[in-house]
Chains A and B, each alone.
Chain A
Amino acid sequence: MSAVEVENLSMSYKAPVRKGGLRAALGSLVRREYKTVQALDQVSFTIAPGEVAGFIGPNGAGKTTTMKILSGILYPTGGEVRVLDHVPWQRRSTFLKRIAFVRGSQPVGGSQELTVMDSLEYQRLLYDVPRAKFRRTLAELEALLDLEPLLERQLRALSLGERMRVGLAMALIYRPEVLFLDEPTIGLDVSAASLIREFVREYVEQTGATVLLTSHYMADVASLCPRLILIDHGQVQYDGPLAELSARLSPYKLIRISAAEDPSAFGEVVEKADGQWVLRVPRDEVAGTTARLLQALEVVDLAVEEPPLEKVIDQAYREGLR
């Protein structure tokens, strides 16, 4: 059985449109015109229990809309969705107690005057978490998210990074089985983003939770998601392992070499600085080129690398998948 099943999911909005100017404005009073915006178009995928999938795509691709439908906030206009065997938009208590939707842009809802501890206590009541289990989970979250200094602080007084940590703690205090993370590291500095990534990894390891994660930061995706679902213009463009996407989009690998002589005869130079070169070499020629480099030159250091994920994804967004 899958934790998340999505079949032919579609979502369209009717947005009012009119031309500029007073005449068009007056005309729209009697006859409104609408344009149908297709946010999602026949999206299908499944996620197995315990799987961590990255859900990526350019702005406006339909990622957040999909997340909102899967968590029960939005009603779709077509298709079928089952999350933990529930139809999400029916928003049954038994379903809502088993999922969490954390958004980097709005990590913490509710009363902002309350302290973090008060808010966590409210979550305990809402989600019927037994006291002993609550205390145990809180102790774990305190350690993993460094929550202790924040517990007596009011929500309104927290920084963005602190809000994200608290948002995660509030979402995970009831141990959800499916976690929808919408850009959880947006706006965070390198250390805070790294802490959040590490935390999510540990949570998944400990609990076996299913995670669907969207992020524009490839570090999030590369470090957490063995599987990628790439969506664009409301359609799934790719669904598979990250490495395969990289290989499919970029038929080249990079050889980073430090040497006394110029290696530019062995491949296309894409970077050169302080006695270090980066050569772009077709994937099937990497082994041969490396052997020739080691034979012909006095090599100080050599490494074979995949092209940066940012560049691969950028190419996918701009040019699409071939």
Chain B
Amino acid sequence: MRTAVLLGFRLRQEVLEWSGAWWFLLTLVVQAVVAPLIGLFVWSAVSPDDPAIGRYYTAVILVTLMTESFEQHTFSERIYNGTLSHELLRPQPVVIGVIGMNLAIRAWLTVLGAPIVLLTGIALQVGFDWWSVLRSTPYLVLAAVLVFLWTFLLSLTAFWTDRVHAVVGFGSQLVFLFGGTAAPIALLPDGLRRVAEVLPFYGMIGLPAEIAAGTRAGGSLLYQLAWVVLLVGVVAVLWRAGVRRYTAVGS
């Protein structure tokens, strides 16, 4: 209960904090939607008569906006500039602050990016089956958790290297390639598709988008949950090792 109250308060704080940087958030929205839009243009040109492509990529844009994570900019910077010390001194798990900021940024990106999703849908005359959209909700929630855990895990490498942006950039490329943004994974070569379906990246973008678009009737929540459990474990181990190594900069 106390954790929920603290998280709620932190979320409110961060929403307020980021409200002053709406122009910066707009640039994040643009960056987030560029890759799915390119995928949309390419695959619409390949299959101009397939309405599912438009639906799928409109869903991908929305899923991307709602699951974006920037812990390499927020959390890792705190390691680099030493302000993580403030968080370590607070009688609450440090991750509450990280999650609070993550949710606040996602909320802003969703609000600011909604017109783009709407315009894309109208321009492509996309029609969603709202039952499919509703059914995608648990998959979307788990996708949001997975993206956060993946980005946070890679951002924890800031305890060991000052090149965290390269590490997270590499991780994002994996999500782009195997997550269903570069191409719906059903369109990947057979072997690659089988690999993509096992890796966690498909559960971050492609799976909830396919279910919302109605191109897939059902998926395995268990597959997403298994990756959540595994990533939570790895994050916990890396966090403990990282904090031991932590040496705050300056005074």
Q: Which residues of chain A have a CB within 8 Å of any CB of chain B?
A: 13, 64, 68, 71-75, 91, 93, 96-97, 100-101, 103-106, 109-114, 118, 122, 125-128, 182-183
Q: Would you call A93 and B91 a contact (CB within 8 A)?
A: yes
Whether B20 and A113, one on each chain, are in contact in the complex, defined by CB atoms closer than 8 angstroms, is yes
| Contact residue among A101, A105, A118 (Cβ-Cβ distance under 8 Å from B89) | A101
Residues from chain A with a CB closer than 8 A to the CB of B85 are 68, 73, 101, 106, 109
**Using Cβ atoms and an 8 Å threshold, which residues of chain B touch A113?**
16-17, 19-20
CB of A174 to closest CB in B, whole Å: 9
Is the pair A106, B251 in contact by a Cβ cutoff of 8 Å? yes
The listed residue (A64, A73, A97, A111) touching B17 by CB distance below 8 A is A111
Find out whether the CB atom of A109 lies under 8 angstroms from the CB atom of B91: no
Q: Which residue of B lies closest to A214 (CB)?
A: B251
Establish whether residues B251 and A103, one from each chain, have CB atoms under 8 Å apart when the complex forms. yes
Query: Min CB distance, A90 to chain B, in Å?
Result: 11
Partner among A13, A74, A125 whose Cβ is within 8 Å of the Cβ of B248:
A74
Residues of A contacting B123 with CB < 8 Å?
A: none
A13 surroundings in chain B (CB, below 8 A) = 247
Q: Contact at B13–A118, with CB atoms within 8 Å?
A: yes
* Docked-complex contact B83 and A111, CB < 8 angstroms: no
A111 and B16 contacting across the interface, CB-CB below 8 Å: yes
By the criterion CB–CB under 8 Å, are B247 and A74 in contact? yes
Query: Complex Cα distance A91/B91, Å?
Result: 8
Whether A91 contacts B88 by the Cβ 8 Å rule is yes
**A128–B6 alpha-carbon span in the complex (Å):** 11
Binary per-residue interface labels of chain B (214-251) against chain A in the complex, 1 for a CB within 8 Å, 0 otherwise: 00000000000000000000000000000110111011
Instruction: Select one of A91, A104, A106 contacting B86, CB under 8 A.
Output: A106
B197 beta carbon closer than 8 Å to chain A: no
Q: Which of A97, A101, A106, A118 contacts B91 (CB 8 A)?
A: A97
Q: Closest CB-CB distance, A60 to chain B, in whole Å?
A: 11
Instruction: Please tell me if B5 contacts chain A, counting CB pairs below 8 Å.
Output: yes
User: Is B82 interfacial (CB-CB < 8 Å)?
Assistant: yes
63-117 of chain B: CB within 8 A of chain A: 82-83, 85-92
Q: Given the complex of chains A and B, what is the CA–CA distance between A10 and B50 in angstroms? A: 68
A68 touches B248 (CB 8 A): yes
Residue pairs across A and B with Cβ atoms less than 8 A apart, 14 shown, are A64-B251, A68-B85, A73-B248, A97-B91, A106-B82, A111-B14, A112-B17, A113-B16, A114-B13, A122-B10, A126-B91, A127-B91, A128-B2, A182-B251
Bound together, the chains give a CA A111 to CA B150 distance in angstroms of 25
Q: Most B CB atoms within 10 A — which of A100, A118, A125, A127?
A: A125
Count class of interface residues, chain B: 20 to 34
The interface centre, meaning the residue of B2, B10, B92, B247 with most chain A CB atoms within 10 A of its CB, is B247
Tell me how far the C-beta of A70 lies from the nearest C-beta in chain B, rounded to whole angstroms. 11
Chain B residues closer than 8 Å to A64, beta-carbon distance: 251
Indicate which residue in A75, A100, A101 contacts B244 across the interface (CB closer than 8 Å).
Answer: A75
- Cβ of A73 and Cβ of B92 under 8 Å apart? no
Q: Does B9 count as interface, using CB distance less than 8 angstroms?
A: yes
Taking A74-B247, A74-B248 as contacts, is the C-beta distance between A114 and B17 under 8 angstroms? Answer: yes
Decide: A71 and B89 in contact? CB cutoff 8 A.
Answer: yes
Q: Residue B6 contacts which of A72, A103, A125 (CB distance < 8 angstroms)? A: A125
1/0 per residue, CB under 8 A from A, across B1-27: the answer is 010011001100110110110000000
A126–B247 contact, CB under 8 A? no
9 A-B pairs closest in CB distance: A109-B86, A93-B91, A96-B91, A113-B17, A111-B17, A64-B251, A111-B13, A105-B251, A73-B85
Complex contacts, B14 vs chain A, CB 8 Å: 111
Of residues 129 to 179 in B, which have CB atoms within 8 Å of A's CB atoms?
Answer: none
CB of A109 within 8 A of CB of B83, answer yes
Contact indicator A183/B91 (Cβ below 8 Å): no
Tell me if B9 and A125 are in contact (CB < 8 A). yes
How many angstroms from the CA of A125 to the CA of B90 in the assembled complex? 11
Q: Is the CB of A122 within 8 A of B9?
A: yes
A110 to B92 alpha-carbon distance, docked (Å): 14
On chain A, the residues within 8 Å of B89 by CB distance are: 71-73, 96, 100-101
Collect the chain A residues with CB atoms within 8 Å of residue B86's CB: 106, 109-110
With a cutoff of 8 Å between Cβ atoms, the chain B residues found around residue A72 in the complex are 88-89
Taking A68-B85, A109-B85 as given, write out 19 further A-B residue pairs in contact, using a Cβ cutoff of 8 Å, ordered by the A residue number: A64-B251, A68-B248, A71-B89, A73-B88, A74-B248, A91-B88, A93-B92, A106-B250, A109-B87, A110-B13, A111-B13, A111-B14, A113-B16, A113-B19, A114-B13, A122-B9, A126-B90, A128-B2, A183-B251
Residues of A near B2 (CB, < 8 A) are 128
Shortest CB-to-CB span from A244 to chain B, Å, is 28
Q: Which A residue's beta carbon lies closest to that of B10?
A: A122
Chain B residue contacts of A126, Cβ below 8 A? 6, 90-92
Q: Which residue of B lies closest to A101 (CB)?
A: B89
